[in-house]
Copies of this chain bind each other. A is one copy, B any other.
Amino acid sequence: MTIELVTLSKSFGGEQRVYRHKSATLECEMTFGVFLPPAALEEKKRCPVLFFLSGLTCTHENFIQKSGFQQYAAKHNLIVVNPDTSPRGVNIAGQDDSYDFGSGAGFYVDAKLEPWSKHYKMYSYVTQELVDVVNANLPVVPGKRGIFGHSMGGHGALICALKNPGLYQSVSAFAPIANPTKTAWGEKALTGYIGPNPADWAEWDATSLVSQYESTPQELFIDQGAKDNFMNNLLPENLLSAAAGNDHIQTIYKLREGYDHSYFYIASFIAEHFAYHASLLKAA
């Protein structure tokens, strides 16, 4: 459970840090970002924690450098933790062959198939080990926890929340892969990590999980650029339709006219997501 500081830069009165640790779940060394807001540093106050999951090809660095989130984490006194998108430094044949499978593309699932199943357990890493590591090492308020993400990471945030009612008190997603079993990215990833039978994929599909959800009522804030060049891989309407048929799921949907899939889009609306998470986490 020990973590090692890699870098630290003051940012908006808080500190943007990068840590690394030896992950028992993934059996490799992993790197993640941590933002500590001024209140956590100066007043030594415990703060809620918000997890951000990144998209295809990203490391922990993209969100830290491109989203401009630190300003709003500082304003709302939220700790932000953002992990990498796959195991790293492992040696699996073919892991670097494509941008949408293997390195940088763990899809936040627990792989069932060899050779991926030894290391590629990003779902358990995010929902269990990383939560424990954060609880053990950072000044978080126990039980005040949110999750959000972008694209593949939006999918990750949704499935992590839907499969663990109560673990996160606030959930949002930018341009999530909302129905991966119906898309090229999703089919490739689920075939490779889970297996060839589509019946085995449903537990990793946010739209399927929304259809079947029967636990404590859950609100999902879905954000989408109307000019997103990857819309065929996202299919937010399918998730919205499923949610419309399930009283246990409420959705907030914002379609942003003219915006694409990039961090320019995320940065433009991240203030709204922080305000949303902060209001729910404060109330939790």
Contact of A68 among B68, B227, B258, B262 (CB under 8 A): B68
Query: In the complex, which residues of chain B have a beta carbon less than 8 angstroms from the beta carbon of A13?
Result: 268
Contact of A264 among B10, B258, B268 (CB under 8 A): B10
Q: Is the CB of A70 within 8 A of B264?
A: yes
Q: Is A260 an interface residue (CB 8 A)?
A: yes
Query: Dominant SS at the A interface?
Result: mixed
Query: In the assembled complex, how far is the CB of residue A267 from the closest CB belonging to chain B, in whole angstroms?
Result: 7
Q: Is the CB of B227 within 8 A of A10?
A: yes
Contact residues of A between 250 and 265, Cβ < 8 Å to B: 258-260, 262-265
Query: In the complex, which residues of chain B have a beta carbon less than 8 angstroms from the beta carbon of A11?
Result: 264-265, 267-268
CA distance in complex: A12, B267 (Å): 8
Q: Is A9 an interface residue (CB 8 A)?
A: yes
Task: Kindly report how many copies of this chain are found in the complex they form together.
Answer: 2
Q: Is A207 an interface residue (CB 8 A)?
A: no
Q: Is the CB of B66 within 8 A of A260?
A: no
Contact residues of A between 190 and 238, Cβ < 8 Å to B: 225, 227
Contact of A9 among B12, B70, B265 (CB under 8 A): B265
CA distance in complex: A9, B263 (Å): 9
Which bucket holds chain A's interface residue count?
Answer: 20 to 34
Contact of A70 among B12, B71, B260, B267 (CB under 8 A): B267
Query: In the complex, which residues of chain B have a beta carbon less than 8 angstroms from the beta carbon of A268?
Result: 10-13, 70
Q: Is A241 an interface residue (CB 8 A)?
A: no
Q: Is the CB of B260 within 8 A of A9?
A: yes
10 contacts between A and B (CB under 8 A): A9-B259, A9-B260, A10-B225, A10-B259, A11-B265, A12-B267, A16-B264, A68-B71, A70-B264, A71-B267
Given contacts A10-B227, A10-B260, A68-B71, 15 further A-B contacts (CB under 8 A): A9-B262, A9-B264, A9-B265, A10-B225, A10-B258, A10-B268, A11-B268, A12-B267, A12-B268, A65-B65, A65-B66, A65-B263, A66-B66, A68-B267, A70-B267
Give the top 10 A-B pairs by smallest Cβ distance, nearest first: A68-B68, A11-B264, A9-B264, A10-B258, A10-B259, A12-B268, A9-B262, A65-B66, A9-B260, A16-B264
